[in-house]
Amino acid sequence: MKYIQKISAKLDFLNHDVNIDLKGRNLILTGKNGVGKTRFLNQLNSVALNKLIHEIPHLSQQHYSCKERIINIISSEIQNISPNLIFQQHLEELTKLLIKTDSYNIIENRKFVEIAKKLKAIIIQNQGLSNDENYRYKHSQIHEIEHYFNELGYMNSHENIDLVVTGIGNLSENIQASKVTFNFFPAHRQSQITASTNTTDLNQYINTAKHEYSSKLGQFLEQYLLNIKIEKSLALSEEQDTDHADQIDEWFTKFDEDLKFLFEDSTTQLKFNYKLRKFSLLQSYREFTFQSLSSGFTAIFDIYSDLLMRSRLLNILPNELNGVVLIDEIDAHLHISLQKKILPFLSQSFPEIQFIVSTHSPFVITSTNNDTVVYDLSTGEFFEEDLSQYSYESVIKGLFHVNPISSETKNSIETLKKLLNQTPTNYEYIRSLIKELIPLEQNDLLDKKLKNLYLQAINLLSDHNQLEDLDV
């Protein structure tokens, strides 16, 4: 279940308002260095965790009845005052805002309270009421509204970030059923999978998975692997429970497939030394442990192993785990090939989780599909189209506003300028430089000035029948 539908923010470190119409999709945040991507994610993490976990599931069950009671009180008081057009308009607007849906819109909730307070003031003014205790006793019903305002006080918080959230009923049920996770993975992350050689009671880890979203469970991955390996053996030897043993085998098979994908090596597999009760990772040319992973793979495993462990400890499938996961600099320490794969891999492994990540990598951005949108914090630009259709060069130029032309290519362009003004003309040298520029022209990476120079050189070669094998 993808809960966050919209993010709105007024942040002191940005010169524009943030309005991101997520509609439950994943989000990639990008922008210039120092624009505040990490600060934004930190604030979003605080608000999302607070609203989604601590407030919404519980308050959503009572906020409708509170609002309904406020409207009933105001409607009854209207009988005691003369008709008022503004009053009627406010009451109609209030009633529209009461419409019950399985969504949570902080902005609309605040609007409800503001209108209700205006109506209360109108009633007091028209009835000549005051805050005198005698009047409070005589006309207690109108002052009773204050109680419901207090109940709805959470709507008047002054946080900088607002969320529009859907699926409140599902969120409440999934929290009770322990199917929800909310995680924030900072940029400087490193998996610290603890080496294990003995089984242990997993109840403590299970309780952590159910109630502590900030706790890192990935470090217990090897411990869990050992537990279920022994569990399989006992299922066969003690209970002859082949079904349970087969389920564990299927899980290990899927884990091996994920390892092959992450390590980009079809020979990668999990190896278990039953004498030492120790796991290792085996490839055709080497054997290594979880504790000796490179920085790139530790960054991946910090995320992957945590979510995998959380689903296993909650006794649900990875595709049942839902919630919101924030990842700062998802491309940190990753080789280009893994930058292209990491977000699709996580999205496919945990399809019900809404990923909100930051990145500088055009390879991460072009790895997305229609389930992911991109927001540039520097400019406020919002990209909903499928950016996988674009080359990474186009993304660098269009989104990051950086010219991807290398220093070597710039030198070639300067040389071409000189060659076009030289006599006699060195056609062979010009042809060789044009060959270097053809890929840039085909990917629309030459600005107007460079394109004119490029066309000038081609026309010169064409006019003198010197194009030869150039494909232009």
What is the chain's Cα-based Rg? 31
Task: Kindly list the distances between the CA atom of residue 233 and the CA atoms of 174, 200, 248, 314, 377, in Å, as whole numbers in the listed order.
Answer: 32, 16, 10, 22, 53
Q: How confident is the model at residue 308 (pLDDT cuts 50, 70, 90)?
A: very high
Helix, strand, coil percent content, the chain, rounded in steps of 5: 55, 15, 30
Task: Kindly list the distances between the CA atom of residue 465 and the CA atoms of 266, 458, 459, in Å, as whole numbers in the listed order.
Answer: 51, 10, 10
In tens, the pLDDT along 389-448 reads 776 667 776 676 666 666 677 788 889 989 998 888 999 999 999 888 887 777 666 777
The answer to whether residues 344 and 337 touch, using CB atoms and an 8 Å cutoff, is no
Q: CA 361 to CA 357: how far, in whole Å? A: 11
Instruction: Write the single-letter amino acid at 361.
Output: S
- Give the DSSP per-residue string, 73-102: HHHHHGGGS---HHHHHHHHHHHHHH---S
Task: Kindly list the distances between the CA atom of residue 375 and the CA atoms of 42, 162, 384, in Å, as whole numbers in the listed order.
Answer: 16, 16, 9
Q: CA 164 to CA 6: how far, in whole Å? A: 5
pLDDT at 156 over 70: no
Greater confidence, 388 or 344?
344
Contacting residues for 74 by C-beta, under 8 A, at least 6 apart: 91, 94, 116, 119, 120, 123, 145
* pLDDT at site 83: 66
* pLDDT at site 304: 92
Average pLDDT, the chain: 82
* pLDDT at site 206: 82
Instruction: Indicate the Cα dihedral angle 450, 456, 457, 461, nearest 10°.
Output: 160
81: tokens are: 């005052």
Q: CA 157 to CA 341: how far, in whole Å? A: 39
By three-state DSSP, how is residue 125 classified?
helix
In tens, the pLDDT along 17-41 reads 888 999 999 999 998 888 889 999 9
Strand partners, 353: 323
84: tokens are: 């008022």
418: tokens are: 């000189």
Domains of the chain: 4-35+177-398 (3.40.50), 54-165 (no CATH), 407-463 (no CATH)
Q: CA 162 to CA 9: how far, in whole Å? A: 6
pLDDT at 181 over 70: yes
* pLDDT at site 157: 47
Stretch (H or E) spanning 161? strand 161-166
Q: What is the pTM of this model?
A: 0.70
Q: Which of 36-50, 125-139, 310-324, 378-392 has the highest mean pLDDT?
A: 310-324
Q: CA 225 to CA 270: how far, in whole Å? A: 10
The answer to whether residues 38 and 382 touch, using CB atoms and an 8 Å cutoff, is no
pLDDT at 139 over 60: no
Angle subtended at Cα 219 by Cα 301 and Cα 275, rounded to the nearest 5 degrees = 100
Q: CA 247 to CA 320: how far, in whole Å? A: 17
For tokens 């299927």, name the residue: 250
DSSP H helix total and E strand total for the chain: 18, 13
Burial of 406-432, coded b for 16+ CB within 10 Å and e otherwise, reads eeebeebbeebeebeeeeeeebeebbe
* pLDDT at site 220: 87
* pLDDT at site 358: 96
* pLDDT at site 137: 47
Greater confidence, 449 or 461?
461
* pLDDT at site 351: 93
Stretch (H or E) spanning 248? helix 242-263
* pLDDT at site 134: 54
In tens, the pLDDT along 62-97 reads 677 788 888 888 888 877 776 677 778 888 888 888
In tens, the pLDDT along 183-214 reads 889 887 776 788 877 777 778 778 878 777 76
186: tokens are: 């900072």
